Amino acid sequence: MERVTLKAQVRDGFGKGAARSLRRAGTVPGIVYGRGRDPRAVSVDGRALSAALHTHAGLNVLIDLELGGNGGGEPTVVIVREVQRDIFRHHPIHVDFHAISLTERLEARVPIVLKGTAKGLSEGGVVEHILRNVLVECLPTQIPEQFELDVTELVVGRSLHASDVTVPEGVRLLTAPEDVIVTVVAPRVIEEEVAAPAVAAVPAEGVPGAPAPEAAAPETAEPEKSGAKDRPGRDRAAKD
């Protein structure tokens, strides 16, 4: 298990304004809690924090936190419980440190790394990595950096579970043994419905028993109407 040293300063300013000022100066606001002590607001150098989090141990790295300012004294052994990151640049904007004892067991999440090429890929299958970490309980110095699972023998329809993880002595697996970590599934085939071509109706002329087509009714010419009305006097004069 990797162990690094990180310097921190006790901070008095609180609120969004104070946090923004710290970030502009290149530091990350944070808090230290645990082991029955009151939470203490601190700040750490952003680059030093990023370097500590990019070791092989990841978030499980053991940190000797040296508190400056009003928090001087022996370094406090901590682990990182949570890191908030900027949604665009992804750099840390807040960190929670949990003070621990090296002689007391704790819970930690350990990442799962897949090794090999599953046989199911040659059958057209798709590898689905479902569970990317498992929960364990152990002493801080016994936290594994990662667990490796060999997927070479996986064929379509087969899976590896949490029970397939080999844990070292002194480490207890807390994740349910039946939880699926990785599986090989058949590819999903989307079938498109092909519409049958429409058949145009053909008059059944000349077919015995078929009804004869209806004859069209003769069109009757409608008399053209004039816009002027006949005057009675003119009609009588014409008859005379």
- For the stretch 177-214, pLDDT in tens is 999 999 999 987 666 665 656 655 555 555 455 555 55
pLDDT of residue 23 exceeding 90, the answer is no
Q: What is the pLDDT of residue 228?
A: 44
Give domain status of residue 198, yes or no: no
**pLDDT tens-digit series, residues 126-180:** 999 999 999 999 999 999 999 999 999 999 999 999 999 999 999 999 999 999 9
Give domain status of residue 67, yes or no: yes
Residue 55 CA to residue 78 CA, distance in Å, equals: 15
**pLDDT tens-digit series, residues 111-135:** 999 999 999 999 999 999 999 999 9
Q: What is the pLDDT of residue 234?
A: 43
Please tell me whether residues 59 and 147 are part of one structural domain. Answer: no
Please tell me whether residues 144 and 120 are part of one structural domain. Answer: yes
Domain count, the chain: 2
Provide CB contacts within 8 A for 126, sequence distance 6+: 184, 185, 186, 187
Please tell me whether residues 65 and 134 are part of one structural domain. Answer: no
Please tell me whether residues 38 and 125 are part of one structural domain. Answer: no
Domain ranges, residue 29:
3-100
| pTM exceeds cut of 0.85 | no
Give domain status of residue 221, yes or no: no
Please tell me whether residues 11 and 54 are part of one structural domain. Answer: yes
Please tell me whether residues 92 and 129 are part of one structural domain. Answer: no
Give domain status of residue 129, yes or no: yes
Please tell me whether residues 93 and 111 are part of one structural domain. Answer: no
Report the Cα–Cα distance between both ends of the chain, in Å, rounded: 133
